[in-house]
Structures are given as C-alpha cells and as structure tokens.
Amino acid sequence: MPDEIQPLHPRKLEIVEAAVICFLDKGYHQTGVRDIVGQAGISLGNLYNHFKGKEAILVFIAEIEGQELSDFIDGLSSTDDPTATLEWFIQEYAVYVSLPENALLGVEILTEALRNPIIADVFGRNRDRLIAALTDCLIQGVKSGVFGSRMDPRVVACLILDALEGQGLRSLSLPSGDKLARDTIGSFLLNGLRP
Amino acid sequence: MPDEIQPLHPRKLEIVEAAVICFLDKGYHQTGVRDIVGQAGISLGNLYNHFKGKEAILVFIAEIEGQELSDFIDGLSSTDDPTATLEWFIQEYAVYVSLPENALLGVEILTEALRNPIIADVFGRNRDRLIAALTDCLIQGVKSGVFGSRMDPRVVACLILDALEGQGLRSLSLPSGDKLARDTIGSFLLNGLRP
Amino acid sequence: MPDEIQPLHPRKLEIVEAAVICFLDKGYHQTGVRDIVGQAGISLGNLYNHFKGKEAILVFIAEIEGQELSDFIDGLSSTDDPTATLEWFIQEYAVYVSLPENALLGVEILTEALRNPIIADVFGRNRDRLIAALTDCLIQGVKSGVFGSRMDPRVVACLILDALEGQGLRSLSLPSGDKLARDTIGSFLLNGLRP
Amino acid sequence: MPDEIQPLHPRKLEIVEAAVICFLDKGYHQTGVRDIVGQAGISLGNLYNHFKGKEAILVFIAEIEGQELSDFIDGLSSTDDPTATLEWFIQEYAVYVSLPENALLGVEILTEALRNPIIADVFGRNRDRLIAALTDCLIQGVKSGVFGSRMDPRVVACLILDALEGQGLRSLSLPSGDKLARDTIGSFLLNGLRP
DNA sequence: TATGAATGAGAGTTCATTCAT
DNA sequence: TATGAATGAACTCTCATTCAT
C-alpha cells in the first residue's frame, strides 16, 4: 500500500474512529453520516474535506483491516515448522477475531462486499493474501509430512478461517472471550490435519 | 410454530417471494418496500394488509428458514449410526447452504440478528435447535466410541456449521456449487472427529 | 402529444402552478423543491408521487408552453392572406410574449435548454414547429408576391420571433405592456418584408 | 469605469478567465466556487483574497463585457454617414455576438440581471449606453432622410440588437458562424429602415 | 382486499464563505 | 498572498408508514 504514505491528516483518523464506533453500534447502512460527525465532534461538511463520501470511509476501514492482517501473513511465512506456525496462527487469529470490533467490522465489511464491488475489491484482495499465506503454510506441512495430503490445502485454509471467525462472531454474545471454545477448535483443526 | 397454521392468504406468499428476491438482490436494508411491492406486482398500501411492516416480512422469512431446518433436525435425531448420520448431514447441509438463496438469506438474517432483537429471537431459536440436534448426534458418537471425546461436542457442532456455511457463502461466486470443496470439507470434519 | 391524454391528477397541476410561481419569482435553479411544495401547500415527499423530480416539472412546463404555441401555429397555417396572417401573428404573439409569465418562463426554459439536453429536446421541438409554421407563411407571401424574395424565409422567421420576444422581455420592467413599442416593431417587420 | 484603474493583480485575471470557462460550460448558478478555483489552479481561500465572492466575479465580467462594447459605441458615434455606420455596426456586432463566449455569457448575465439588482445595474448601464449610441445613429439617419421616420428610433435600436443577438445565440449550435444568416438579417434590418 | 396519494423525518452530498495558519 | 480545514444551512431525493377511498 505505498499510496498510503501520504501525510494523513489526524482528523481523518478521528473520523475513522468515530465511524468504527458507529458501524459497530448500528451497522454500516444504519449509520448516517450525521451520526459519524456527531461522534467525531466535527461539522457535517468537514467530513467531506477528508472523505469523498460515506462509502470511502468503509473502504478506508477495510484497508486498515487489511493492513492488520499483515502481521498474520508475515507470521505464516516463517514456515520452518509448519505445525508450530499453524498452532501460533490459530491461537492468535482466534484471539484477534474474538475482539468485538474485529468480529463485527469483519461481518459488516463481508456483507457489504457481497454486493458492493468497491468493497469487494478491497476486502477480497486482503482476504486472498491471508488465504494464500495460510495455504502455503499448509502445503509446507504436507511436503514435510506433518499434515495429511488428502485434502486441497486452499479449501482447508478457508475452513480454518471460517471456523475461527465463526467462533469469534459467536463469542460476541459471551461475557468473556470463551477461551475454552477457542482451544477446542484449535485442537480439532490440528487433529483434522493429521496425516 | 403452531401460530402459523392460520389460513395464509396466497398473496402473503407472493409478497414473501418478492421480498426474498429483493433481499437477495440488494440486501435487507437496501431494499425498500416499494421494491418489494413492485416485484410482487401489488400496490404499496396492500402490503400492509398482509404484513405489519418491512421487518415483519424478514421475521416471516426467518421463520420459514427455521422450518426448512426441521428436516435436518429430524435426520440428525435418528442416531443409530452417528457416523452415517453425520456424513449424511454434512453432505446434505453443504448442498443446502450452497444454494444462493439459502446462503445469502442466511447472512442477511444473521447480520440483522446481530442488532435486531426480534430477528435475533427467531434466528437464535432455530439455530439453537439445529445446534442441539447436531450436538446430540456428536454425543452419541462419542458414547459409542466412534468419535473422539477430547472436545466439547457443542463447540464442534458449531464449527461444523461454520465450515459448511462458510463454504456455502464462498461458492456464491463460483460457477457450479464446487462439489470438490464440499467433499474436502466433509472429509476434513470427519477426519477431525476420529477418536 | 397523445401521451398526455392520461387522467392527470389535479394535484399535479397545482404543483405545476406553484412551480411556475416560484420559477418566475426566483428562477429555476434558485428555486428549491421545498419552495415549490411550500407554495403548493403539500408535503415534500408528495411531490415525488407526481413528478420524478424537479427537472420533470420544468419539462412538464415546457410541454405546456409548447401546447400553447399550437394556437399560433394553427393560425399561421390558414395562409390565404399571408399579409393579414402575419399581421395577426405579430400582434397576438407580441401580446403573448409580453405577459410576464410567458416572457420569464421562456427565458428560463431557453437558458436551461442551452445546457440540459432533456429540456433542449422539448423546447427545441416546440420552437421548431413554430418556426416552421412562420416560415411557411413567409414562403406563401413570397410566392404570392406580397413579400420580398431576397431573404431566406427561415432566417426572417427567426428574426421576427427574436424581435417580438426581445420586446416581451424588455417590457417586463415597464408598467404597462408598452403597446406603442409593439406596434413599432410590427410595422418595422412588415416594412422590412416589402418586396 | 475610473475605479478599475487600480493595479489589478494578474491572479485576478486568471480567476476571471477560469470563471468565464466555467460559466460558459455550466452556467453561473451551476458553477461552484470550487469549480472556479479548480480551473484557475488556486486554492479555495485564495479566491476570496481577490474577489468578495462569487457574485463579484460575475459583476467583474459584466464590467469587462461593458468595456468591450465601447468600441461599438465609439464607432456608432462617428455619424457622418448613418447608413454606412449602421451597416458597419450590424456587420461587426453580428460577428461579435456570434462568438460563443459572448453569446453565452451575454445570456448568463442577462438572465441573472433579471433578478439580481447588482448585476442588473452593471448590465443595464452598459446596455443603455449601447442603445443610446445606436439610437443616436438612427436619429441622424432620420434627420438626413436616409431612414424612415415612422418609428421610434429607440425601439428600432432594441429590435436591431435583439435580432443580432438572437442570431448569435442560435449560431451556437451551428458548425460555422452562419455568415449567410447574418447577411440576411443585416439586409432585412436595413431594408426595414427605408424611408 | 386493494389502491396510491399523503406525510415528514431522514438520507447523502454540495454550497458559499470564513479563518487560523 | 496563499492554503485548505472548518462551518452548517441548503440541496434533491428516498424512506417506511398511514389513511381515505
């Protein structure tokens, strides 16, 4: 994302933070631009000095979410020990997607991406990178014999993400992050990968 | 759902079908009542003779979706052979959630349920029934020794649903239903359940 | 205009009348839809039950203006006596375009037609019919020898309209309709047509 | 215009030129100050260092247009030979008002003058000077017997301007300037002035 | 049951202008 | 002089819903 190195007015971040709060609270379509500027404490017109429109804010958020995935992608790329790497990923990603703002925003962006090509583009690019990194890790494991070779690694990668994200979403309505469930899922996934 | 045994005006179904088409096409919040009555070929006011409002239509749809789950719940309850039952369920439910109208409507209802208590109520009740049935099946398998006992069966049940539904959603953008991926997921899930 | 035989809700005419008042008072672009509905005494949303939008109202007005020209076009077509016909036209059209609502609305529609293709279409069609009828009348006069044949009759027709309409616009700022000026223009035009 | 002898920052002219381009393209009211500064390549706030506001730019343009009329006024004042002078004026003014920027800006200023007293003031002053000069020329012709004396010379002067300007506006949509039509109008006007 | 006119709050966006830097 | 962030009223239009017919 070399085009994001531009100065970046602090107000722009304030707007994004306000928008995130609103989107989490009411959902993207239920949130009005007036909600956002009210939350941000700025005037209505000023929002349009920083963003082309409401949709541009969601795109920006999706891009930020994508950048946050880079840590996971980087971690998955150190594939000396696929098993350890995968255990680390499952553990950390499960925690990441259990944070309400990640879980809810993820759903918001995903559902918007279903029908909005612009969002689909940003979201899809980020997701593809994550899937590719996870798939590579699985392939490494298959090559080194620690994972079974029966299954298409890309499909398994998607399944892993689905399982972790589904659990993240489910834990929204729970008091704590439900560590037990996360561990169960982790061991199930690893168990299923046995050769 | 004993309260649905009432006569049920055929026009009501026409409206629901029109609404489903619209919701699939544009999403629940992006769909206006004018879109629905236009699709249904009736007048604006007449919609309110059959439904209290737009939300009531979504509740109705969620209830129908819930009824469609009954077949799966019934199937899961014949637990003489947990492995065979689970194989059947994974196979059939994967197909079911691959149908675009089920996949998309499911997401629509789920996201709405995140913030709308009325929808959450209907959706949650149906989902709980399915999870309970699937959990029971898993428990049977654990008891009879065909499934491993390490993991909380309810969490595994949720994971199975997440994996299948995630794949259903993903297959939306694919030409065919992607039978291969479904099989991969099925074998992964069953593999992970080994004792 | 056979497509205008449809029932035509009386409220639609009320809106048009209100819009005309506003357009005369403030101009088309300076008039807001809220001005129109305020003048019409209806609610904001109801305007959109009768017109697709603000522009559609102007189109409607332009169409009505076009229909009002039909009397002149009909009169010009009875060309037994081109001189008498032309005298009648100059006299009557001068009065017509001296009425403030015709003069001002004409300018409003003309200027909008300069850049708005939809308005240009409606306006151009009506104007072309009038020019054609006037040109025909002039041609008749040339054929029968009462008008000079040196000049392109179509250009002269346009000149006649320009002169009359220019005077109509100028008389806006005058207390009375300025009958003297109209007569002067009439005699000038007829004088210029001498063979 | 003795108040325009002030230094006149070159940036001011750049802004005016940009504004003219915008006004021709979109019309005065449809043009935003952001359009103008974008076209001029300056910042939004800087415009207000040179003009009090958007309206002041139009006033400035109207004043420039008025100055451009001075050549015509001067030419009309050399009334040794009213016929030759009038022929020259008709010829040259027809060309002048056929230039798109003159034709369109003229309409823009005229229509704004209909409702904006400030513009009406500037525009009216300039126009009155031109009408007066042309009227004087006609009076000279009447006195020397080359023009007929039946008609109010001021009304005829207005008619001449209307005819030429109307043709100028009409030639906007034509490929060339339509010299033939201009000649026709010129000969018609001169013909109508015969004693 | 069926119609569509009526409502007015609310949608996202643009506006001309001001002002601290 | 020059910048562009800040303002908030105004813009056109859509919304779900009501109601008289």
pLDDT above 80 (res A6):
no
User: How does pLDDT run across B85-105, given as a tens digit for each residue?
Assistant: 999 999 999 999 999 999 999
pLDDT at D137: 96
Asked whether the beta carbons of residue D166 and residue C158 sit closer than 8 angstroms, the reply is yes
Q: What are phi and psi of A151, to 5 degrees?
A: -110, 150
CA distance B75 to B88: 8
CA distance A77 to A96: 18
User: How does pLDDT run across C73-117, given as a tens digit for each residue?
Assistant: 999 997 789 999 999 999 999 999 999 999 999 999 999 999 999
What CATH number should be reported for the domain whose range is D60-192? Answer: 1.10.357.10
Question: Where on strand E do bases come within 7 A of a protein Cβ?
Answer: 1-20
Q: Domain D1-51 belongs to what topology?
A: Arc Repressor Mutant, subunit A (1.10.10)
Could you tell me if B115 lies within 8 Å of chain A, comparing CB atoms? Answer: yes
C59-192: CATH architecture: Orthogonal Bundle (1.10)
| Residue A59 CB neighbour total at 10 angstroms | 21
CA distance C36 to C34: 5
Nucleotide nearest to C54 (CA to C1'): F12
| Residue A130 CB neighbour total at 10 angstroms | 19
Could you tell me if B184 lies within 8 Å of chain A, comparing CB atoms? Answer: yes
Instruction: Report the predicted TM-score, pTM, of the whole model to 2 decimal places.
Output: 0.93
Which CATH number is A58-192's, of 3.10.560.10, 1.10.357.10, 2.60.40.420, 3.20.20.60? 1.10.357.10
Domains D1-51 and D60-192 share a fold: no
Q: Amino acid identity, residue C99? A: L
CA distance B69 to B161: 12
Residue ranges near strand E (C-beta within 7 Å): A 31-35, 44-45, 48, 52-55; B 9, 11, 42-46, 48-50; C 9, 11, 42-46, 49-50; D 31-34, 44-45, 48, 53-55
Domain residue limits, chain A = 1-51, 58-192
Task: Compute CA distances B8 → B12, B16, B58, B132, whole Å.
Answer: 7, 12, 16, 30
Q: Specify whether the CB–CB gap between B142 and B149 falls below 8 A.
A: yes
In this complex, the chains that touch A, judged by 3 or more CB pairs closer than 8 A, are B
Residue B174 binned pLDDT confidence (cut-offs 50, 70, 90)? confident
User: How does pLDDT run across D8-62, given as a tens digit for each residue?
Assistant: 778 999 999 999 999 999 999 999 999 999 999 999 999 999 999 999 999 999 9
Asked whether the beta carbons of residue B29 and residue A26 sit closer than 8 angstroms, the reply is no
The alpha carbon dihedral of B15, B21, B23, B27 has a sign of negative
Q: Specify whether the CB–CB gap between C131 and C101 falls below 8 A.
A: no
CA distance D29 to A96: 52
* Mutate which: D24, D54, D105, D111, vs C, most C CBs within 10 A: D111
pLDDT at C1: 41
Asked whether the beta carbons of residue B163 and residue A167 sit closer than 8 angstroms, the reply is no
Could you tell me if C104 lies within 8 Å of chain D, comparing CB atoms? Answer: yes
Pick A166's closest partner by Cβ from B115, B148, B158.
B158
Residue B20 binned pLDDT confidence (cut-offs 50, 70, 90)? very high
Could you tell me if D114 lies within 8 Å of chain C, comparing CB atoms? Answer: yes
pLDDT at B166: 96
CA distance C183 to C94: 9
CA distance D91 to D107: 20
Helices A100-115 and A54-77 sit at what angle, rounded to 10 degrees?
Answer: 110
User: How does pLDDT run across A42-80, given as a tens digit for each residue?
Assistant: 999 999 999 999 999 999 999 999 999 999 999 999 778
| Separation in Å, CA of C55 to nearest CA in chain D | 14
The reply to whether B10 has its C-beta less than 7 Å from any atom of strand F is: no
Among candidates B122, B108, B116, B113, which has minimal Cα distance to B25? B108
Q: Amino acid identity, residue B29? A: H
Residue nearest F19, CA–C1′ metric? B45
- Measured over all CA atoms, what is the biggest interatomic distance in chain A, rounded to whole angstroms? 60
The contacts of residue C191 (CB under 8 Å, 6+ apart) are D148, D150, D191, D192, D194
Residue nearest F16, CA–C1′ metric? B33
What CATH number should be reported for the domain whose range is B62-192? Answer: 1.10.357.10
- Residue C116: closest CA among chain D residues belongs to which residue? D26
pLDDT at D4: 47
pLDDT above 70 (res C138):
yes
Among candidates D107, D3, D48, which has minimal Cα distance to D15? D48
CA atom of A36 to C1′ atom of E10, Å? 15
